[in-house]
Amino acid sequence: MGQPESKPARFPQPGDHIYCRRKGGLYDHHGIYVGDDMVIHLQGAAKKLGALPACHKCGDKRVENGEIAKVCIDCFLDGETLQIYDYGVPLPEFMNRKRGTCCLRHSKPPHEVISAATGFLERNGFGSYDMFANNCEDFAVYCKTGSAVSYQIVGHIERVSAAGPAGILAGAAVAAAYGISKAITGAKRHN
């Protein structure tokens, strides 16, 4: 949309929130890099990525099932380019960046981020995957900051709203649904 793409990726450090494009850029997939070439992520809902044999490195079966999983970085990226999500971005920069690439809030220290992601993995405790209320970006942002907001979704709502009066209504309906289910899933979360 005329906005600059993310900065070229540096090598991820344990505790970094990483993401890559999926489905030719239709959406991005997010996870927490925990070191040793491994990523903890919230997988999408019941979508087969391909009839491939399980990964020999991490055992990932390339099936998205709405669960929190630990996979190797190759399975996470699935051939796409690694990007690193930025935290503590100043407001003017945030406004100019593509939604779903950075966050105004600051990250917790890396060891706290990793222990949050690991805790969710052990309990499989982030609720079921929901494109609007509980998605992979929410999971990663939640691990990084202790609360969740999906800027990728906010970006979609902004684009819908830019489509005119009908778009504004649709956007408001999406935002309302998002807010309501957010409150419900938020209440169920324990950290």
58 is a site residue for Zn ion (CB under 5 A): yes
Minimum CB distance to Zn ion smaller for 60 or for 137: 60
Number of residues that bind Zn ion (CB under 5 A): 6
72 is a site residue for Zn ion (CB under 5 A): yes
User: Residue 165: exposed, middle, or buried by beta-carbon count in 10 A (0-12, 13-18, 19+)?
Assistant: exposed
Minimum CB distance to Zn ion smaller for 60 or for 64: 60
137 is a site residue for Zn ion (CB under 5 A): no
Determine whether 29 is an active site residue: yes
63 is a site residue for Zn ion (CB under 5 A): no
Residues 75, 89, 103, 148: which binds Zn ion (CB under 5 A)?
75
Q: Is the CB of residue 112 less than 8 Å from the CB of residue 162?
A: no
Minimum CB distance to Zn ion smaller for 39 or for 160: 39
Determine whether 111 is an active site residue: no
Distance linking the first and last C-alpha atoms of the chain? 37
Cα 44 from chain centre: 10
Cα 120 from chain centre: 14
How far apart are alpha carbons 64 and 109 in whole angstroms?
Answer: 29
60 is a site residue for Zn ion (CB under 5 A): yes
Residue 116 parent element (H or E): helix 110-123
The single residue of 29, 30, 58, 75 carrying the catalytic annotation is: 29
Determine whether 56 is an active site residue: no
The single residue of 30, 41, 58, 75 carrying the catalytic annotation is: 41
The single residue of 58, 75, 103, 136 carrying the catalytic annotation is: 136
Among 18, 134, 14, CA closest to 77: 18
Identify which range of 68-76, 95-103, 110-118, 176-184 contacts Zn ion by CB under 5 A: 68-76
- Residue 117 token pair: 């992601």
- Residue 164 token pair: 């005119």
Q: Which residues bind Zn ion (CB under 5 A)?
A: 55, 57-58, 60, 72, 75
Q: Which residues are catalytic?
A: 29, 41, 136
